Chains A and B, each alone.
Chain A
Amino acid sequence: AQKVTQAQTEISVVEKEDVTLDCVYETRDTTYYLFWYKQPPSGELVFLIRRNSFDEQNEISGRYSWNFQKSTSSFNFTITASQVVDSAVYFCARADKLIFGTGTRLQVFP
């Protein structure tokens, strides 16, 4: 099976710390897409980013940034200056049927 692995089960940080969530994927496809979703305690899933396999440029959106390294099959997500509201479970996923990683639970303490 082509898995998506998020090795960090839980991460705890104090507010304003930077935190990086790791994601490693497996694929036999030459063209593929990767996603990050956030699931806050309320349960809904919030789309954060989509990245295609041809675009290895890092992306920054406010306090969020993503590092896509095709050579290591990784798509890591960094939150800069974390806030309490960032506390959630974060899932990395791969298209086409959206296979999710196991998720990383991030807790940001004040």
Chain B
Amino acid sequence: GAVVSQHPSWVICKSGTSVKIECRSLDFQATTMFWYRQFPKQSLMLMATSNEGSKATYEQGVEKDKFLINHASLTLSTLTVTSAHPEDSSFYICSARGGQVTYNSPLHFGNGTRLTVT
């Protein structure tokens, strides 16, 4: 149980275009989803916290107008990288909490999306 599906697994786009990444909880309702970014050989950096039905909370230094997050349902959150640039190339991973939501519940992670901007 507790499967999180992330799509696409990888994407290559041209500089200036926008890319949408989907994160779905397949067998549970995720009231809270998190988006992380991971550069090569580095740790996961939290970008934003997404709560169903409300605006996302962004971490300091993350541009909310560039990384648009929508959590329209209890099973789907999307991250749109707008006007992508080569420096946005990274591994983006979503995670979700569901069920009896407590802050200490383990997060269930998607398999990540590798974005390459040319």
**Minimum distance in angstroms from B27 CB to a CB of chain A:** 16
A43/B43 in contact, CB under 8 A: no
| Residue in B34, B46, B49, B106 whose Cβ sees the most chain A Cβ within 10 Å | B106
A8 on the B face (CB < 8 A): no
Inter-chain CA distance A25–B107, complex, in Å, is: 19
A106 to chain B, nearest CB (A): 14
Asked whether any CB of chain B lies closer than 8 Å to the CB of A100, the reply is yes
B28 contacts across to A, CB distance below 8 A: none
The residues in A between 55 and 92 inclusive whose CB is less than 8 angstroms from any CB of B are 91
State which size class the interface on A falls in: 20 to 34
Q: Is B98 an interface residue (CB 8 A)?
A: no
B95-118 CB contact bits vs A (8 Å, 1 = yes)? 100000001101111111010000
**CB contact under 8 A between A96 and B93, given known A91-B44, A101-B43, A102-B42:** no
Residues B54-79 near A (CB distance < 8 A): none
Q: A50-B104, A52-B104, A97-B34 are in contact. Are A45 and B46 (CB under 8 A)?
A: no
**With A50-B104, A95-B104 known to touch, is A45 a contact of B109 (CB < 8 Å)?**
yes
Measured CA separation A43–B37 after assembly (Å): 12
Interface pair A98/B43, CB less than 8 Å apart: no
Tell whether A103 pairs with B43 under 8 Å between CB atoms, given A35-B106, A44-B111. Answer: yes
- Given the contacts A47-B106, A95-B103, A100 and B112 also touching, CB distance less than 8 Å: no
A44 to B34, CA, bound (A): 15
A33 within 8 A of B: yes
Of all A-B residue pairs in the complex, the 5 with the closest CB atoms, nearest first, are A96-B103, A33-B104, A45-B109, A44-B111, A102-B43
Give A residues with C-beta under 8 Å from B.
33, 35, 37, 42-45, 47, 50, 52, 91, 95-103, 105
17 A-B contacts, Cβ less than 8 Å apart?
A33-B103, A43-B111, A43-B114, A44-B112, A45-B44, A45-B109, A47-B109, A50-B106, A96-B103, A96-B104, A97-B34, A97-B49, A98-B46, A100-B45, A101-B43, A102-B42, A102-B43
